Each structure stands twice: as C-alpha cells, then as structure tokens.
Structure 1
Amino acid sequence: MISHSPKKAVLSVLIATLLGGVVVADAFAQARSSDRNERRSKGSAKAEVLFPEATRTEPNGKPSSKMGGKLQKLFAAYNKDDYAQTRTLADEIIASADANDYDKAVANQLASQAAYNLDDGAATKQYLQQAIALNQLDNNGHFQAMLMLAQLQLQDEQYAEGLATLDKYFAESKSAKPEELVIKGQALYQTEKYAEAIPVLKAAIAASPEPKDNWNQLLMASYAEAGQTAEAVKEAEALAAKNPADKKAQLNLASMYMQADQMDKAAAVMDKLRAAGQLTEEREYKQLYSIYANTDNKERDVIAVINEGLEKGILKPDHQVYLALAQSYYYSDQVPQAIEAWRKAAPLSKDGETYLNLARVLHSEGRIPEAKQAARDALAKGVKNPADANKIINLK
C-alpha cells in the first residue's frame, strides 16, 4: 500500500504561517517610540514606564555641554525621516572625543533606526550592540534596543546569539508580554528545541486575553515534534473546534490524527471537508486517499477519492496516483480495472518495476502474450532482478 508521512503534512500546513518576519517591524516601531520617550523624559513630559519590574538600575545620563547642539541637529534629522543625515550626524557624535557615553548611546540608538530604514542590517545590529553596551539609555530605550537586536539576530539565523540576547532581555527587564514570549518560543522551535519551546509558548498563550491562532499552531507543532502526540492532538482539536470553518485548522487536525495513528478520525475530518467541496488542492486529495490507503478495508474509498480528484483535474495523472489506484483495485478484487491502472502507471515510472508487477498480474490471469510484453518493457526500463522478467518472457 501507499506510504505517507503525516509529520511532513503537518509542517507543510504550518510553516508558512509560523515563520513570518513581522516582529522586527514591530520592534522598530517600539524603538522609535522609545527614542521619543528618551527625549521626552529629559524634558517636561514624563515618559511611560514600559518595564516597571526591571532589575536594572536606570542610569541618570545627561548630554555633555559640548554635544548639545549636535544632538539637537541629530534629533531634527531623525524627526524629518532623513535617515542618511541621521546616520552621518550620529557617526560624528560617536567618533567625537568630546562626546560622553550618554551622547554616544543616544547617537547609536538613533543610528540603529536610521540604518534599519536604510536596509543595512549589519550596521543596525552593530549600533544596537553599542547602545546596549554603553548602558546609558533609560530602561525603555535600553530594553527595546535589546529586544530589537534579538529579533534581528534571529532573522539573520544567528539563533544562539538571538536566544542569548532574549534570555538577557527577559532576565533583566522582567517582561512577560505574550507577544515577546512567542518570539522566544518560535526561535526555540526553529532550533529544534521543541521541549523547551512548549512551556514558553504555553506561558505566552496563558498570558494573552486573545492568543493568536498561529501561536496555538506553533504549540501544536512543538508538541508533535517533541513526540508528545496526545498533547498535539488536544491542541489541534481545540483549534478546530474554535474555528470550524477554517480549512487550515481542520487539515491540521487531520494531520495530527494521522500522526497519532487515528486514521478513522483523520478520514472523518477530511471527508467532511470533501463533502463541503473544500478540498481544492492536490496535496489535500493525496492526504485523504493516503489516509484510506493506510486503513484496513478502505480500498474502495481510495478508488473513489482518486477518481474524483482525477475527474475534477485536481489530482495529476502521475505514477503515484495510478499506482495507488491499481493497488486498491487489485486488493478489492477488481483485477481488470487494476490492470488498466497499472498500464497507465508503468510508463510514468522511473524504472521497470511497475511493468514487472503488471507482467506478474497478467500472467496470473492467464494473459501470457500481454505478460511477456510487459516483462520486455520492464527490462527495457530496468529492473533490480532481470531474471524475474526473463522467467515470464521464456514461458512456453
């Protein structure tokens, strides 16, 4: 019968949803707000305290007397979104012997945003690292710079560095924001630390009044990869119950049932989608007939699904499809139809093994001339054991 990998089916559904790159843009927006808070905190208005539980003692840094004018020009360029000028002015302050650590920290902070908008990722990270190392920004600016650095490192697949930065961020800021915990959970998932990802993702979901569905999907995938199939199924069932009209949630549930070897339940979910006309992609029809092919006494269901998929033009008439159809006809005692399907499958095979199977079936049906021709075709395409084909060819 046909082999199938439920694990791959799960990942194919989830991967596009889970591994997006929008979090860096959010970090930029937060960092820009922090820049304004940094300036406002030095004026009359008081900045919102974003990290009230932070263990870091907030420094009382002040601009040096000699850098006041240059800092004003820097802020003016940044507020005009003149990122090239912002970076030029910031670099001048960073290189100046008259600038103190606070001046340089602020300059690095604004330069990081300018470099980010200029699509210079390497420079963005360097500026952020320098701003953090100088340790002169208020907590808002310091920790948001750290969060943005972590996300950029992860985006650049610097997973060890990104996770280390995140760990430092959470340890010192004491932030427990669910959208930030998810960043760590996703990074742990991407680095195949599935068991470590699970408690982080659970904490994020528990802390959010409205957790996003893709957070739950990521948790489900982490359970599955960690070998905690029962938990993965529970998560998939909850998501499917919450979103009964969401085809993706239903497909995920079917895939989880397959992984848990609960083929009857998987088939029920897929058949419901089929009845509603929601199976519109080749992989979905293949998933359904594969479920039946891996379930005892479901050959007629395999046949029905494949023929429907072919009639609708959703399934491509390839070797795999015709082979599954031939096997299902054969094991349901519909030998003439099986032979016809094998005849269609054999020319599409990469070798002659399918022709050889056809020859054997034809021989067992007493159709010797046809069996000999199929055996010759098998030899022409190449088989592992030519002697098997020659035995049929040499029949008297």
Structure 2
Amino acid sequence: MLAGAALAFTIAAAPVHAADSSKKQSSEYPNTTRAEPKLDLKSEKDQKALQDAGEAFNNGDMAKAAQLLQPVIDKSDSKYAKAYAQYLMGNITFKNGDTKGAIAQFKSSLDNGVLPNDTYFNEMFTLAQVLAADEQYQASLDTVAKWRDQGKKETADSYGVQGLDDYNLQKYPEAIAAIQKAKSLTDKPQNSWNQILMASYADSGQGADAAKMAQSEYEKNPTDSGLMHNAGAILLQQQDYAGAIKVLEEGRTNGAMKDEADWILLVKAYLLQAQNGGDTKAGGAKALAVFDDGTAKGVIKPSAANYKLAGDAAMIGENDAKAIGYYQKGAGLASDGELDVALGKVYFQDQKFAEAKKYLTQGLGKGVQHKGQAYMVLAEADREMKDKPGAITAMMEAAKDPDTAAKAKEWLRKAGVGK
C-alpha cells in the first residue's frame, strides 16, 4: 500500500472577515450553491488575534500562533472566530505530528457552519488530505466527493487525492482513471501521481503497462533517483532482469544511484538473472562487483542480510572462498544461526567436514528456520568423519522436522536404527 498523501499546507495570513465588511472579493468557488453565511466577527481583539496568528503560522512560529488562537477558541463569542481559529489550529496540530487531533479540529470547525465559502471549501479539501495521511481512505474519498459536489469545482490535486484513496482501497481501475484525470488537468503533475498510477497497473495485473510507464518516465529524466528506483523495481517484479539491470546500471553510471536500497536492488537483479537461466558464474561475479563497489563507497552498510546476499552471489558464481568470507562477516552481525549454517554447508561442499560440523552445530545452537535440513547436512558430515553415533543423533533430530522426516527416517531405516 502507498503511504498517505504528501501534504504541504500553505495558509495565507488570516483573511479575517469583519461582519460589516462591504468589500466584494472574487470567489474561488463561484459556482457553489452554498449560501455565504452571515459573519458575526465584531471584536477587534479577536480580529487582531486571528490576523497575528495567521502571520505567525506562515512565519513558522507555531508556538506563537497556537498561543494566540487558544483564547479565541476558548472564550470568543464569535462563531466565526472560533471556527477560523480551529481551522488554523488544525494545521498547527497536523504540522506538530498529531494527525488525529488535526482531523478533530477540522471537523469541529467545518461543523460550525459559519465559515465563508472559500475558507470552508479549502478547509474541507485540507481535511480530505489529512484523512488520507491518517490512512482513513474511504473517509478521505467521501470528503473529496462532498467537496467536489458542494463546491462545484474540479482540480488536478483533488483527483490526485482520489487516486491515492482508490489505490489504497484496492480500487485499481478507479485509481487509474482518477490519476489520468489529474494529469489531464495540469501541465505540472506531481511525481507521486505516477507512482500511484504505476502501482495501480502493477497490482491490477497490468505489470507490463507499469513497466513500460516506469521506463518511459525514467528515460525523460535519467538522473532522477526516484524514477530510477521505480523503473528498476517494477522491471525486476516483472522478471525483466536485463531491463532492470540496464536501468540501474545507467543510474549507477550517471550518479542517480545514491541509496543503499538501489545498490542492493542491482545486486539482486544480477543474482536473479543468474539463477533464472543466465550465466551463473558471470552473473555471480557481476553481482559481487556491484556489492564490493557499493561497500567501498560506503553506501552498502555492514549487515547480516547484506553479507548473506553477497555470500549467496558468491555461491552462485562458484566462488566458495568469497562466500565463506561474506558469510563469516554476516554471522558476526546476525541474531540467529542462518549464516553459520550457510558456512557449514559451504565447508561440507568443500569436503572440510570438521569445519562444517563446527558451524552447523553453532548455527543450530543459535536457532534456524529449517532445522531438519541443517541436521541432515550435519549427519552427513559426521558420517564422512566416521562418527556413526553422531550421524544417527543428528538424523534423529532431522526426523522430527516434517520437511525432512521422510528422508531422515529412510536414512535411519537403512542404517538399522529403529523399526
């Protein structure tokens, strides 16, 4: 699921409306059927507080703005002043990280019913975005529909929010239609819209369309790291390993590849290509070259997962010595025994049975997911070292694992153990 909408609110210095104002302003919502409410703001004190709070908000002084607004919310006799103060306070609350608190303030402000049309509808659209950020996608979608219906207005941004909501509600055809509509209404589409569109294509079984779009967007700006990542990830998901490698290598050459995740993505692309019909030795070597380059540059950080990936690439590339080196580095960082077992298997393959037993035993002691498989290799290592009792003990453990029980019991039967 895509995360909530990227929100950036800008509130102009509070356009405070006095009850006796005779100035006529052009409306942002000229076609709405909502009647402009009568305003009841008569207090110069309230008017100045709202004006100063709006200016403080736009200057980034949230504490000062909140300090000016709270007395208006608590004590003002003006319904308008209270509603507008709650509107501004909702934005402050959101910027302070309290999304649910902001939603409550926006709803209370709107329910007051006294805000002028422009403020009322702008706040309603803000609420739709904040609901999306809070992952209340259906509520956000309903709010956008209400805003569009009552305000009689369509904007690219409103269809962008609708597309995000539809995607996260798994309404992929609707998401695709909404984002395409958003893009048709502006010559400056948001980058996030393309992400929603590509994800909608991919998750609705139109992966080829997603990949084609991702490549097209990246080709327009080949130094954009985000577009490179999207294209590489989607092509990899489509099992177009050559296409993913081409995009990611281009990004590596032109400096677009900056994040560890993208370097690891390229390592995986070479590894998957090698595992799925490619040249295993060459593919493993290329994967390791990328890994070593990223490590030397300080982008790929030491971790058990990263060293396991490198070790796996070395194994695919038939470079046991390098595999041992990577697995050993990873084992020291791991919280379980998976890499110790991997080491044991490499040593067993190299017919170094004592070392194999050491690491297999060590890994099993730390805990591994597939115990039966590890015990079966351990049993074979013991057998190769002429330790029949040890082999039998290990194989009896393997017989307890449903995944290896049948093979282990057959081994034990042939060894004359049990019935």
- Give the structure-2-normalised TM-score: 0.71
CA contact (8 A) 1:359 1:371 kept: yes
How far does the alpha carbon of each residue in 1:133-179 deviate from its partner, in whole angstroms, 9 at most, with x for none? 45454432332232233334444444443332222111211221112
Q: Tell me, yes or no, if structure 1 residue 200 matches structure 2 residue 178.
A: yes
What whole-Å deviation, never above 9, does each CA across 1:335-374 have from its counterpart, x for those lacking one? 55555555656666632421331232122xxxxxx32232
User: Is residue 50 from structure 1 mapped to residue 35 from structure 2 by the alignment?
Assistant: no
Instruction: Tell which deviates more after alignment, 122-131 or 168-177.
Output: 122-131
Q: Describe the shift of the 1:336–1:237 C-alpha distance in structure 2 as closer, same or farther (beyond 3 A).
A: closer
The 3 A distance-change label for structure 1 pair 52 and 135 is: same
Question: What are the residue-to-residue correspondences of 1:1-396 with 2, within 5 Å?
Answer: 19-22=5-8, 25-26=9-10, 28-29=11-12, 35-36=15-16, 38-39=17-18, 43-54=21-32, 56-59=33-36, 61-62=37-38, 69-70=42-43, 72-81=44-53, 84=67, 87-89=70-72, 91-92=74-75, 104=79, 106-116=80-90, 119=93, 125=103, 128-133=106-111, 135-276=113-254, 278-295=256-273, 296-297=278-279, 298-316=283-301, 318-334=303-319, 337-338=322-323, 350-351=336-337, 352-363=340-351, 370-382=352-364, 384-385=371-372, 386-395=375-384, 396=386
Change (3 A) 1:212 1:375: same
Question: For 1:312-339, what per-residue CA distance to the aligned partner results, in whole angstroms no more than 9, with x for missing partners?
Answer: 4443455444544444444445455555
**Partners in 2 of 1:344 and 1:93 — Cα distance?**
66
> Matches of 1:155 and 1:221 in 2, distance apart?
18
In the aligned structure 1, how far is the partner of 2:344 from the partner of 2:286?
26
Q: Following TM superposition, by how much is the alpha carbon of 1:392 offset from its aligned partner in structure 2, in angstroms?
A: 1.8
Does the 8 A contact of 1:343 with 1:358 survive in 2? no
Q: CA deviation at 1:62?
A: 3.4
Q: Give the deviation of 1:217 after TM superposition.
A: 2.6
- The verdict on how the C-alpha distance between 1:214 and 1:44 changes in structure 2, with shifts beyond 3 A counting, is same
Contact 2:311–2:327 (CA<8 Å) still a contact in 1? yes
Give the conservation status (yes or no) of the 8 Å contact 1:257–1:263.
yes
Count of aligned positions: 353
Quick check: 1:267–1:288 contact (8 Å CA) kept in 2? Answer: yes
The alpha-carbon deviation at position 285 of structure 1 amounts to 2.2
What does the per-residue CA deviation read over 1:22-58, in whole Å, with 9 as the maximum and x for residues that have no partner? Answer: 1xx23x44xx66x44x549x6333111211232x242
Q: Could you say if the C-alpha distance between residues 283 and 62 of structure 1 is closer, same or farther in structure 2, counting changes exceeding 3 Å? A: closer
More contact order relative to length (CA 8 Å, sep ≥ 6): 1
Q: Deviations for 1:233-258, whole angstroms, at most 9, x for unmatched residues? A: 23312321221221221222111111
- Aligned to 1:394, the other structure's residue is in SS state helix
Which residue identity is paired with 1:58? A
Structure 1 residues 46 and 345 mapped into 2: Cα distance closer, same or farther (>3 Å)?
A: closer
Confirm or deny: 8 A CA contact 1:230 1:260 kept in the other structure.
yes
One-letter identity of the residue aligned with 1:394: R
> How many angstroms apart in 2 are the aligned matches of 1:162 and 1:342?
48
Secondary structure at 1:44 match in 2: coil
**Contact between 1:51 and 1:175, CA under 8 Å: does it hold in 2?**
yes
User: Residues 58 and 289 from structure 1, CA distance in 2 versus in 1: closer, same or farther, beyond 3 angstroms?
Assistant: same
Change (3 A) 1:334 1:147: closer
Per the alignment, do residues 123 and 110 of structure 1 end up closer, same or farther by CA in structure 2, a change over 3 Å counting? Answer: farther
**Contact 2:27–2:118 (Cα < 8 Å) also in 1:** yes
**AA partner of residue 86 (structure 2):** S
SS in 2 for 1:62: coil
Q: How high is the sequence identity, in percent, across the aligned residues?
A: 23
